[in-house]
């Protein structure tokens, strides 16, 4: 399953026509302790680069953007009970939502893992 990254520190795993989205370990580290996550409603149509979710930490609130266009098919309800999952397991169990892949060509502008690591190293 290929994983892509955005310059806004979201990751996206693509499995056929379904994509899982979350924030990177780097992003959660910058935010600090996560205290609340607002997830998109199932059925919401998202546009690439548009607001998709909100994450609040003890330091700040931050938007999570849709890495590609598509429709939300599932939200991670575990984050409602335990938003700190984003801190402890940001790139697995702390995922935010699943969506359909509306336009696979939008994936072409995203970074692979090596590209993202180089991007973060340059910050």
Q: Is residue 34 part of a domain?
A: yes
Residue 45 has pLDDT above 90, yes or no: yes
* pLDDT at residue 70, as a whole number: 98
CB atoms within 10 A of CB 117: 13
**Cβ proximity of 65 and 49 under 8 Å:** yes
Q: Is residue 113 part of a domain?
A: no
The stretch 5-11 carries a mean pLDDT of 98
Q: Is residue 59 part of a domain?
A: yes
Q: Is residue 58 part of a domain?
A: yes
Residue 5 has pLDDT above 90, yes or no: yes
Tell me the percentage of the chain whose pLDDT exceeds 90: 98
Q: Is residue 39 part of a domain?
A: yes
pTM (predicted TM-score): 0.96
* pLDDT at residue 68, as a whole number: 98
For the domain that residue 61 is a member of, what is the CATH number?
Answer: 2.40.50.100
Q: Is residue 107 part of a domain?
A: no
- For residue 54 the two structure tokens come to 């909100």
The strand pair at 97-100 and 70-75 is best described as antiparallel
* pLDDT at residue 1, as a whole number: 81
- The total of structural domains in the chain comes to 1
Select from 66, 68, 34 the least CA-distant residue to 50: 66
Q: Is residue 110 part of a domain?
A: no
The parent domain of residue 90 ranges over 3-102
């Amino acid at each position: 399953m290929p994983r892509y990254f955005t310059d806004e520190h979201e990751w996206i795993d693509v499995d056929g026509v379904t994509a899982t989205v979350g924030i990177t370990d780097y992003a959660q580290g910058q935010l600090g302790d996560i205290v609340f996550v607002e997830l998109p409603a199932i059925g919401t149509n998202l546009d690439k680069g548009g607001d998709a979710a909100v994450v609040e930490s003890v330091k700040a609130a931050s938007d999570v953007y849709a890495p590609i266009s598509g429709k939300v098919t599932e939200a991670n309800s575990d984050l409602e009970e335990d938003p700190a999952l984003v801190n402890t397991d940001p790139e697995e169990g702390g995922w935010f939502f699943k969506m359909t892949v509306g336009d696979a060509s939008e994936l072409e502008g995203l970074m692979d893992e090596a590209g993202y690591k180089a991007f973060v190293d340059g910050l």
